């Protein structure tokens, strides 16, 4: 089993959470910005770098530790263990309402991936449907709701 270190950012503005979908891969559910750490990179630095690469935004606000989680992905070569660290940040104004951005350097070396960003109201029916979220990203929403 390969170990991969991952860092993610849950950005909120009031009761709204920044999420994205992948229009070219509609079967993949909602996600939050983040990804694989570079060798020797800290979780905090990796979270900031991944957020900026994936959103195209500069992350000026502080990041606060939200949770840690080990998540097993079944891959064709066998299972991968993703050791995840989640961070939370609050902004007073949404930097954009909705936008598309390409992830230009996916960690698997694939072609750029189109991400479609938008704000999800954490009190909406959609935010209560675990099946809409990809790979466990729903798991942190209960704790996140207590912080906003």
Are 12 and 119 in contact, with CB atoms under 8 Å apart? no
**pLDDT tens digits, one per residue of 84-122:** 999 999 999 999 999 999 988 777 778 999 999 999 999
Q: Return the pLDDT at 91.
A: 97
Angstrom distance (rounded) from CA 67 to CA 36: 16
Question: Can you give the pLDDT at residue 104?
Answer: 85
pLDDT < 50 stretches in the chain: none
Task: Please report, for the chain, the start and end positions of each structural domain, with discontinuous segments joined by +.
Answer: 2-147
CATH of 2-147, one of 2.60.40.10, 3.30.930.10, 3.40.50.10860, 3.90.79.10: 3.90.79.10
């Amino acid at each position: 089993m390969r170990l991969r270190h991952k860092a993610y950012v849950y950005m909120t503005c009031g009761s709204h959470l920044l999420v994205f979908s992948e229009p070219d891969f509609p079967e993949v559910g909602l996600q939050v910005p983040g990804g694989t750490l570079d060798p020797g990179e800290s979780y905090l630095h990796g979270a900031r770098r991944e957020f900026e690469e994936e959103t195209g935004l500069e992350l000026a606000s502080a990041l606060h530790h939200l949770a840690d989680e080990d998540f097993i992905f079944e891959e064709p070569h066998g299972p991968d263990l993703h050791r995840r660290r989640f961070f939370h940040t609050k902004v007073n104004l949404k930097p954009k309402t909705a936008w598309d951005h390409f992830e230009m350097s996916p960690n698997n070396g694939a072609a750029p991936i189109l991400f479609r960003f938008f704000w999800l109201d954490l009190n909406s029916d959609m935010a209560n449907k675990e099946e809409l979220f990809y790979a466990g990203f729903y798991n942190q929403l209960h704790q996140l709701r207590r912080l906003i």
